[in-house]
Amino acid sequence: MAIIGVRIDGRLIHGQVANLWTTKLNISRIMVVDDEVALNSIEKSGLKLATPSGVKLSILPIEKAATNILAGKYDSQRVLIVVKKPDRILALVEKGVPIKEVNVGNMSQTNETRSITKSINVIDADVEVFKKLNQLGIHLTAQMVPNDKAEDFMNLLIK
């Protein structure tokens, strides 16, 4: 299987993902999975600019990403999946994509969110999705950068 890492990060591709995570995991392709972003040409242009040279980029809606992964399209590559919200991961898993572990990186603060860590903010719907992912046996960790200690995200979530 080509999926080396799965990260939730509201900023998608930026310094931490583009430089630290792709280097640490020796990533050859970043796959942004998001229905809205896949349709937004301005956001896609920004993501292309943020992608490190030598790393391929796919920006796909959930359905297409699942189809491509399950068809083995990326089997020879080292893929990092990046999503903005946990519901995208649940949708991939429900479509049969085998995901065992998810790194919860950055979820930005809004008027509706509550803080879990200084960089992870959730709404009630996110909490329900995290609980479902956990029930499916997916290990959830909180880790901003590779040098940070990975913490069990469910322990942080239910404090």
Catalytic residues: 14
Helix (H, G, I), strand (E, B) or coil at 85: coil
As given in the structure block, the two tokens for residue 152 are 């069990």
Residue from 132, 59, 39 nearest 91 by CA: 132
Strand locations in the chain (E): 3-9, 29-33, 56-60, 79-83, 101-106, 114-115, 121-122, 139-142, 151-152
5, 20, 13: which is closest to 148 by C-alpha?
A: 20
